């Protein structure tokens, strides 16, 4: 799969991410978990926010590489988990095509798997998600972006007229 499959972009701000995580936590609060497993790297920040909201102190990681910028690679498990996930909350930022989700589901079949955002191809692989995003949308997460100066509008218009 390559970057040309993405026709749209969706930028997630830090504020939106935090609001979305809190909204997802309202659905998760009734159940107690032994701990949280973050799927690295995208699931690290959502897992930390969820851990705070649910007051969970035990956090582990499953380390998988499947993306290189916009291109999906083969799933490469860098660090696994030594149990089946029973009573654990498994967290990722997004389920896209489901390639990573399938690999993780095989390793942790009993975990409660949640993502903040879900695309149609991957959606059936997670137990819960907050927001569905179209399959052709590339999501720009706040940890992948930098802050830069933006010229005032009047200056932008002046520079275009020259």
Name the residue with higher pLDDT: 153 or 58: 58
**Is 3-161 assigned to CATH 3.40.50.2020?**
yes
- Write down the catalytic residue from 93, 127, 136, 155: 93
Residue 93 is a catalytic residue: yes
User: Is the confidence at residue 75, as pLDDT, over 60?
Assistant: yes
Whether 96 is catalytic: yes
From the list 60, 87, 92, 127, the catalytic residue is 92
Per the annotation, the verdict on 84 as an active-site residue is no
pTM: 0.85
Taking only the tens place, the pLDDT of each residue in 87-119 is 999 999 999 999 999 999 999 999 999 999 999
Q: How far apart are CA 93 and CA 21, in angstroms?
A: 10
Q: Is the dihedral of CA 104, 141, 11, 88 positive or negative?
A: positive
Domain boundaries, the chain: 3-161
User: CA 138 from chain center: how many Å?
Assistant: 12
Q: How far is CA 11 from each of CA 14, 65, 142, 161, rounded to the nearest angstrom?
A: 10, 22, 8, 29
No. of helices (H) and no. of strands (E), the chain: 4, 8
d(CA 39, CA 88): 13
pLDDT tens for residues 3-30? Answer: 577 899 999 999 999 999 999 999 999 9
């Amino acid at each position: 799969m390559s970057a040309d499959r993405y026709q749209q972009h969706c930028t997630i701000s830090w504020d939106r991410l935090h609001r979305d995580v809190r909204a997802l936590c309202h659905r998760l609060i009734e159940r107690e978990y032994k701990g949280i497993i973050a799927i690295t790297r995208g699931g690290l920040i959502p897992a930390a926010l969820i851990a705070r909201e649910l007051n969970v102190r035990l956090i582990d990681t499953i380390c998988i590489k499947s993306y290189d910028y916009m291109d999906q690679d083969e799933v490469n498990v860098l660090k696994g988990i030594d149990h089946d996930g029973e009573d654990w909350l498994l967290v990722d930022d997004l389920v896209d095509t489901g390639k990573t989700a399938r690999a993780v589901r095989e390793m942790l079949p009993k975990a409660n798997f949640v993502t903040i955002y879900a695309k149609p191809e991957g959606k059936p692989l997670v137990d819960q998600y907050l927001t569905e995003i179209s399959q052709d949308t590339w999501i720009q997460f706040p940890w992948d972006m930098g802050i830069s100066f933006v010229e005032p509008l009047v200056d932008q218009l002046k520079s275009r007229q020259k």
